[in-house]
Amino acid sequence: MMGLQALRGCAVLAGCWVLAIALREWVPLPIPVPLWGMALLFALFLILGRVPADIRLVGEFLLHHMPLFFVPAILGVLAYQDLLRLDGVALSVALVVSTLIGLIVTAGLFRFLDPRPSADPRASDPRASDPRESDQ
């Protein structure tokens, strides 16, 4: 049963990928295929109102084995050691700065879109008193 469920999840992900390739060809916008695919998958989740168990199963498997996806990148770094010796500092600075910008934008977007009111730690602490009141 689990094998059939995983197969259905893979089929949905592959279908989103194929549709994303088609969208990339049909729509004259410079949007990469992975972004189209994620948008299609997100739209599917919105339409269904949930993440189907089939896709959740495959997604958890892929996330669990994600370190294996970084092996080609590590081998690429080893293949370009000479370039890293020449421009390693500039590449490192660009990597750190772009990562920080991405984190800041993501956190700001989350705070902007989060429907929950921000919690004031003093509001939930019963020991916190009004600063206008003094213990005289």
CA distance 11 to 5: 10
Q: What is the pTM of this model?
A: 0.54
Determine the average pLDDT of the residues in 33-47: 93
pLDDT at 97 over 80: yes
Determine the average pLDDT of the residues in 81-104: 92
Q: What are the CA-CA distances from residue 86 to residues 6, 11, 77, 79, 91 (Å)? A: 46, 44, 13, 14, 10
What is the percent of the chain with per-residue pLDDT over 90, rounded to a whole number? 56
Give the position of tokens 């498997």. 61
Element (H, E) at 31: none
Give the pLDDT score at 131: 57
Q: What is the pLDDT of residues 99-116, one digit of tens each?
A: 999 999 999 999 888 877
- Under a CB-based contact definition with an 8 Å cutoff, are residues 57 and 6 in contact? yes
Instruction: Place 60 in a pLDDT band, splitting at 50, 70 and 90.
Output: very high
Q: What is the pLDDT of residues 3-20, one digit of tens each?
A: 888 999 999 999 999 999
